[in-house]
Amino acid sequence: MNILYDERVDGALPRVDKTALLKALTERLPDLDLLHRAEDLKPYECDGLSAYRTTPMLVALPRHIEQVQTLLRLCHEHRVPVVVRGAGTGLSGGALPLEQGVLLVMARFNRILHIDPAARTARVQPGVRNLAISQAATPFGLYYAPDPSSQIACSIGGNVAENAGGVHCLKYGLTVHNLLKVEILSVEGERLVLGSDALDAPGFDLLALFTGSEGLLGIITEVTVKLLPRPPLAKVLLAAFDSVEKAGRAVADIIAAGIIPGGLEMMDNLAIRAAEDFIHAGYPVDAAAILLCELDGVEADVHADCDRVRAVLERAGATEVRQARDEDERVRFWAGRKNAFPAVGRLSPDYYCMDGTIPRRELPGVLKAIAALSAEYQLRVANVFHAGDGNMHPLILFDANQPGELARAEALGGRILELCVAVGGSITGEHGVGREKINQMCAQFNAAELSLFHSIKTAFDPNGLLNPGKNIPTLHRCAEFGAMHVHAGQLPFPDLERF
């Protein structure tokens, strides 16, 4: 038996001998920073989803690609699981470590390697912050379009792993639409290049397959992203509504009018009040819901589109439509929305952030259904949406110190995600599946589809060492969960139609 193991665990991966592993790593990689004491490991026990916590066995903090390669080769040789982590801002438990595995932290790979203004590209390491790319491109009149709310902290490697979006993804797309190339290391430490510097590459589109794979297929070491020219002008309209249903219908009306805003966001009253108390953005705190609609482009088009959207909003029943007076007010309007998550944290000791996606036409009915579920579970829900593309972020407020409240919040979250699937949507839009939504994967996909996912995973990682236990449930787990019957077009809630 390999020296790193002392027994089998639940018929899965063998238990790792920490002392032997630490010795082997130290001998092969004397310059690698390794954390192994309990007090040093504690900060890495969770990502942004703090409801789930596990203390890792070891944390590796490499500075050079060669260190990562050697680490992967050693772990592969001895069948030691590896979980990769970037900035730790993920909200689905994707970077949750393993008690019997190595947590590989790529945060020190934080250099912008090259900005090419002629080609409009940036070549960066995975630990570079999302916002830092745009800051580096600003002198050339360029920027990186995907802008998650955590862009000040989240890293581009994590954005690729989760296929992150942001408030402007309606017009400019998700991470996958703004990538040209990624360089990765396989589980065996082999270097691979997916995509190319050209607009297309021959062969299968492995770049799209890898984007959003949540650390299951390989380790990102370099990313080449597309840059866009900054729009000459951007204007934001704020519309207030006396019901969330009217606001939801207005979203569909704007798209139906042939207008594609740069961003189209929605917040309900609970989220409005929290954000206003925190940021003082100038939101109408008595409104049941608000829409933020940004229009960008050349001046003539922006002014014409503002007039058209104003008319659509007024016909949809808006009680107030206000245009940002200047750039400072436009920035404040967006600051309120981008800080909605931390702002809601002021209302409750804990909150659970969901991430479902639904067809835009279903917004009014789904909002009513969420309100009914909130009452059933006796937990408040603040709703924040990337409304233009139907990406919902219900924030379930609870107190983990109260017995049973976390379990109730998880159950409510599961019902909301199954509701999304029932109306033709998805259990995730940008946060990923990770550890959080693995049961709801059973509601989203059937047995044949899940088997195909496992086959893809096996092709890249035959021994299942990369981020095991995340994203793709086993068929046995789904059978236990009992949700294989819930698919798009079917209604898991008998009275859903009444909403």
Q: pLDDT digits over 436-461, tens only?
A: 999 999 999 999 999 999 999 999 99
Asked if residue 494 and residue 356 are part of one domain, the reply reads yes
Looking at the fold, whether 207 and 263 belong to one and the same domain comes out as no
Of 44-53, 316-325, 485-494, the least confident? 485-494
Give the mean pLDDT of 202-215.
96
**pLDDT computed for residue 12 by the predictor:** 57
Flag whether pLDDT at 94 surpasses 60: yes
Domain identity same for 207 and 269:
no
Alpha-carbon gap, residue 315 to 313, rounded angstroms: 5
CA angle 459, 461, 466 (to 5 degrees): 145
Q: Is pLDDT of 485 > 70?
A: no
386 and 435 part of one domain: yes
- Each residue's pLDDT tens digit, 169-190: 999 999 999 999 999 999 999 9
Say yes or no: 420 and 479 in one domain: yes
Q: CB within 8 A of 258, min separation 6: which ones?
A: none
- Amino acid 498: pLDDT: 36
> Between these two residues, 2 and 182, which has the higher pLDDT value?
182
Amino acid at 245: E
Which two structure tokens, joined as six digits, stand for 210?
Answer: 């890898």
Last-in-domain residue among 286, 308, 343? 343
- 52 shares its domain with 66: yes
Residues 195 and 259 both lie in one domain: no
pLDDT band at 488 (very low <50, low <70, confident <90, very high): very low
pTM score of the predicted model: 0.92
Whole-number average pLDDT of the chain = 92
Task: Verify that 327 and 395 share a domain, yes or no.
Answer: no
Compute the distance between CA of residue 296 and CA of residue 67 in angstroms, rounded to an integer: 45
Residues 28, 77 contacting (CB under 8 angstroms): no
Name the least confident of 205-219, 412-426, 470-484. 470-484
Report the chain's C-alpha Rg in angstroms: 23
Q: Give the residue numbers spanning the domain of 449.
A: 348-498
Residue 35 and residue 18 in one domain = yes
216 close to 460: Cβ distance less than 8 angstroms = yes
Out of 310, 343, 376, a domain closes at 343
Assigned token pair, 195: 């995509």
| pLDDT number for residue 482 | 73
Distance CA 307, CA 27 (A): 68
Query: CATH code at 13?
Result: 3.30.43.10
User: How many angstroms separate the first and last alpha carbons of the chain?
Assistant: 60
358: pLDDT strictly greater than 70: yes
Number of domains in the chain: 4
Nearest to 358 by CA among 257, 428, 268: 428
SS3 label, residue 381: strand
**Per-residue model confidence as pLDDT tens digits over 253-288:** 999 999 999 999 999 999 999 999 999 999 999 999
Structure-token pair, residue 334:
């967006």
Q: Which of 198, 229, 260 is the last residue of a domain?
A: 229
Q: Report the CATH number that the domain containing residue 357 is assigned in CATH.
A: 3.30.70.2740
Q: What does the block give as tokens for 184?
A: 């990765």
- Written as one string, the DSSP assignment of 136-170 is HHGGGTEE-----TTTTT-BHHHHHHHT---TTHH
CATH number at residue 172: 3.30.465.10
Give residues with Cβ within 8 angstroms of 384, minimum separation 6: 265, 266, 267, 268, 271, 337, 340, 341, 393, 394, 395
pLDDT above 90 covers what percent of the chain?
87
> How do the residues of the chain divide into helix, strand and coil, expressed in percent and rounded to 5?
35, 20, 40
Average pLDDT over residues 123-140: 98
Please indicate, yes or no, whether residues 286 and 388 belong to a single structural domain of this protein.
no
* CATH code of 334's domain: 3.30.70.2190
pLDDT digits (tens, 9 = 90+) for 5-40: 443 343 456 688 899 999 999 999 999 999 999 999
What's the CA gap between 135 and 187, in Å, rounded? 33
Amino acid at residue number 49: L
The answer on 277 and 202 residing in a single domain is no
Asked if 31 and 120 sit in the same domain, the reply is no
Mean pLDDT, range 184-212, rounded to an integer: 95
CA atoms within 13 A on the CB side of 180: 15
DSSP state of 42: G
- Tokens 């909130």 correspond to 374
DSSP string for 247-263 = HHHHHHHHHHTT---SE
